[in-house]
Chains A and B, each alone.
Chain A
Amino acid sequence: MSFAWAKAYEPKTDLGRWIDERMPLPRLVYNAVGGGYPVPRNLNYGWNFGVLSGIFLTIQIVTGIILAMHYYASADGAFNSIEHIMRDVNAGWFLRYAHMNGASFFFIVVYIHIFRGLFYGSYKAPRELVWMLGLVIYLLMMATAFMGYVLPWGQMSYWGAQVITGFFSAFPLVGEPIRVWLLGGYAPDQAALTRFFSLHYLLPFVIAGVVILHIWSLHIPGSNNPTGVDVKSEKDTLPFHPFYTAKDGWFAGLFVTLYAAVLYFAPNMLGHPDNYIPANPLATPAHIVPEWYFWPFYAILRAFTVDFILPAKLWGVLAMFSSILLLFFLPWLDKSPVRSGSYRPVFRVFFWILVGDVLLLGLCGMKPAEQPWVALSQLAAAYYFAHFLIILPLISKFETPLPLPNSISESVLHGETQEAAPAGLKPAPAQ
């Protein structure tokens, strides 16, 4: 599973040996995140976001289970049960705000994690499954978050549910029956609410399971690193504990500080005021907007305004789903043998254009469907598809990458100015 020089687990106590003979769980943990897992020594902070994602998943599960002790999944009572939590339950406001903002921070962390993967080629062989499992996790997160947002049964909860389940009716013939089947009715109501509650409680545990597969499939080849060059010898790595436990630990502290600042001092900053209005099926809000982490997809959905062979609504739905599904094929679309964007100057330029493009799509998703936002979203969405499906394959065919360092330790120990010296030789004195 790991590298040949990985430290072996040696139980130091009698109890440790007893457990190890019967169920080697401590050994598993040691080999996964302890001293027994060698990790490239040159990881930058972009590599902290996987652990951070795990931390926020845990926060969501813990706060969620506790909130479920007080939440009442009834169309009549749900909104009031949330206010009961905020006003009467001991520390209820803390739990609710923690869960609400925890979802946002979970997405922030996962998005940074994904873009790290895009830049450094972490999706390339032999880590294709890690990438695809990650996308499965992302899809599950989106479903969980959507259903969770419906539960307070505010105006945005209700109308968001209407819009999103309305997607299905875009599909000819089967669309409407599927929509009614999903909702258990003709509009979001009691049936939809209770089943969303059930599934919202279930899916995070499915996510946790897929996370385990995600980490397992990563630990076979080991972590990628900023140079994209494979680990060659012991010199290239450091044991996960204590080096990366310390690095992950302090950075998690920093991120949790940010999270606490938002939770305690601006808890409604990332939300929408309309969700403090109880759901009213007869009154549509002036602007229906999803939560911020869905804004880019909302923009892609609304960008298609013309019927062309297919109705515009169907194009929008297909494009929205495709925008994530195409990522599954990324390891085969981008066939460059060089992993890391650090050594791919042309790729790098387009990567940053993509980042800007996604941010622009997000902005368009937040705005009402007026000019200039519609026009901008049309351009930005066109670029998004072009980037992955046209530009990247072409770049990977025609780009001349920069020469790679021979190994991680060479790039680490000799430093930039010392690359002239081959590994092993005394380098020339610094200029």
Chain B
Amino acid sequence: MATLEETTAAMEADHSLRRRDFINIAAVSFAGVGAVAVAVPLVSQMSPSADVLALASTEVDISKIAPGQAIKTSWRKQPVFIRNLTPKEIAEANAVPLSELRDPQTLAERTKPGKENWLITLGVCTHLGCVPLGTGEGENRGPFGGYFCPCHGSAYDTAARIRQGPAPLNLQVPEYNFNSDTVVTIG
């Protein structure tokens, strides 16, 4: 067994051969990869859970909505307006030149072919998020006969497009599909 002095001397000599930093770097890198791998579930757990995703689409029965009527329903915990447009309302919407619109869109672009009378939009004002009036009987439908937001005066037309007031965009049209003439799946 050598003394401390001797072994230190030997160590200096062996320096170049023994200094295999490679293994140390390999070990630390592996640990690093592990740390990143562990971080993945820690971050993904905040994404919507399976039960929330299951409620991501809702079916609505529209058979009871007469022309000129609208209902308010819920989809992904947000209000949705489903309106059965009258021919007069459809004509009014089509008569508006696109150049007059802040967010130009035709009624045809906002409805499904063959079902132009069904206007399905989110009931969330695109200004700061209030729920506009106009779905219920007797509610204020604003100067353009569509929806009216009482918070800051945004007025939407019969195609739920923004015509007046601070809102920048038309009421959002969600993804939806007609399963039949009477049932729509939203989302």
By the criterion CB–CB under 8 Å, are A91 and B1 in contact? Answer: no
Rounded to whole Å, the gap between the CB of A406 and the closest CB of chain B is 15
**B180 in the interface (beta carbon within 8 A):** no
By the criterion CB–CB under 8 Å, are A94 and B41 in contact? Answer: yes
By the criterion CB–CB under 8 Å, are B49 and A69 in contact? Answer: no
By the criterion CB–CB under 8 Å, are A414 and B1 in contact? Answer: yes
Contact partners of B50 in chain A: CB under 8 A = 87-90
Rounded to whole Å, the gap between the CB of A253 and the closest CB of chain B is 8
By the criterion CB–CB under 8 Å, are A84 and B1 in contact? Answer: no
Q: Which of A66, A409, A418 contacts B45 (CB 8 A)?
A: A66
**When each residue 89-117 of chain A gets 1 if its CB lies under 8 Å from chain B and 0 otherwise, what string results?**
11110110000000000000000000000
Contacts A62-B42, A66-B42, A249-B27; A89 near B4 (Cβ below 8 A) = no
Q: Which of A210-252 contact B (CB under 8 A)?
A: 235, 242, 246, 249-250
Q: Which of B4-45 contact A (CB under 8 A)?
A: 4, 24, 27, 31, 41-42, 44-45
**B3 in the interface (beta carbon within 8 A):** yes
By the criterion CB–CB under 8 Å, are A413 and B46 in contact? Answer: no
Rounded to whole Å, the gap between the CB of B53 and the closest CB of chain A is 9
Contact partners of B45 in chain A: CB under 8 A = 66, 69-70, 89-92, 95
By the criterion CB–CB under 8 Å, are A418 and B51 in contact? Answer: no
Q: Which of A90, A235, A242, A430 contacts B47 (CB 8 A)?
A: A90
By the criterion CB–CB under 8 Å, are B49 and A89 in contact? Answer: yes
Report the Cα distance A95→B44, complex, angstroms: 11
Rounded to whole Å, the gap between the CB of B21 and the closest CB of chain A is 10
Contact partners of B46 in chain A: CB under 8 A = 69
**A427 in the interface (beta carbon within 8 A):** yes
**When each residue 125-164 of chain A gets 1 if its CB lies under 8 Å from chain B and 0 otherwise, what string results?**
0000000000000000000000000000000000000000
By the criterion CB–CB under 8 Å, are A88 and B51 in contact? Answer: yes
Report the Cα distance A244→B49, complex, angstroms: 42
By the criterion CB–CB under 8 Å, are A413 and B3 in contact? Answer: yes
Contact partners of B52 in chain A: CB under 8 A = 88
Q: Which of B3, B4, B31, B49 contacts A249 (CB 8 A)?
A: B31
Contacts A88-B49, A90-B49; A235 near B4 (Cβ below 8 A) = yes
**A22 in the interface (beta carbon within 8 A):** no
What bracket does the count of chain B residues touching chain A fall in? 10 to 19
**When each residue 64-82 of chain B gets 1 if its CB lies under 8 Å from chain A and 0 otherwise, what string results?**
0000000000000000000
Q: Which of A253-279 contact B (CB under 8 A)?
A: 253
By the criterion CB–CB under 8 Å, are B41 and A426 in contact? Answer: no
Report the Cα distance A413→B46, complex, angstroms: 54
Rounded to whole Å, the gap between the CB of A23 and the closest CB of chain B is 26
By the criterion CB–CB under 8 Å, are A418 and B41 in contact? Answer: no
Contact partners of A415 in chain B: CB under 8 A = 1
Rounded to whole Å, the gap between the CB of B49 and the closest CB of chain A is 4
Contacts A89-B45, A90-B45; A418 near B27 (Cβ below 8 A) = no
- Chain A residue nearest in CB terms to B7: A413
- Chain A residue nearest in CB terms to B46: A69
Report the Cα distance A253→B34, complex, angstroms: 11
Most buried by A among B47, B49, B52: B49
Contacts A89-B49, A92-B49; A413 near B41 (Cβ below 8 A) = no
Rounded to whole Å, the gap between the CB of B44 and the closest CB of chain A is 5
**When each residue 153-176 of chain B gets 1 if its CB lies under 8 Å from chain A and 0 otherwise, what string results?**
000000000000000000000000
Contacts A84-B49, A91-B45, A94-B41; A409 near B1 (Cβ below 8 A) = no
Report the Cα distance A418→B42, complex, angstroms: 54
Report the Cα distance A92→B41, complex, angstroms: 8
Report the Cα distance A415→B3, complex, angstroms: 11
Contact partners of B3 in chain A: CB under 8 A = 413, 424, 426
Contact partners of B24 in chain A: CB under 8 A = 242, 246
By the criterion CB–CB under 8 Å, are B44 and A91 in contact? Answer: yes
Rounded to whole Å, the gap between the CB of A430 and the closest CB of chain B is 7
Contact partners of B1 in chain A: CB under 8 A = 413-415, 418, 427, 430
Rounded to whole Å, the gap between the CB of B70 and the closest CB of chain A is 34
Contact partners of A426 in chain B: CB under 8 A = 3
Contact partners of B49 in chain A: CB under 8 A = 70, 84, 88-90, 92
- Chain A residue nearest in CB terms to B44: A90
By the criterion CB–CB under 8 Å, are A413 and B4 in contact? Answer: yes
Report the Cα distance A88→B1, complex, angstroms: 63
Report the Cα distance A95→B41, complex, angstroms: 8
- Chain B residue nearest in CB terms to A65: B42
Q: Which of A403-431 contact B (CB under 8 A)?
A: 409, 413-415, 418, 424, 426-427, 430
A-B contact pairs, 14 of them (CB 8 A): A69-B45, A70-B45, A84-B49, A90-B49, A90-B50, A91-B45, A95-B41, A95-B42, A95-B45, A242-B24, A249-B27, A413-B4, A414-B1, A426-B3
> Which 6 residue pairs spanning A and B have beta carbons closest together?
A91-B41, A88-B50, A88-B49, A88-B51, A89-B49, A90-B44
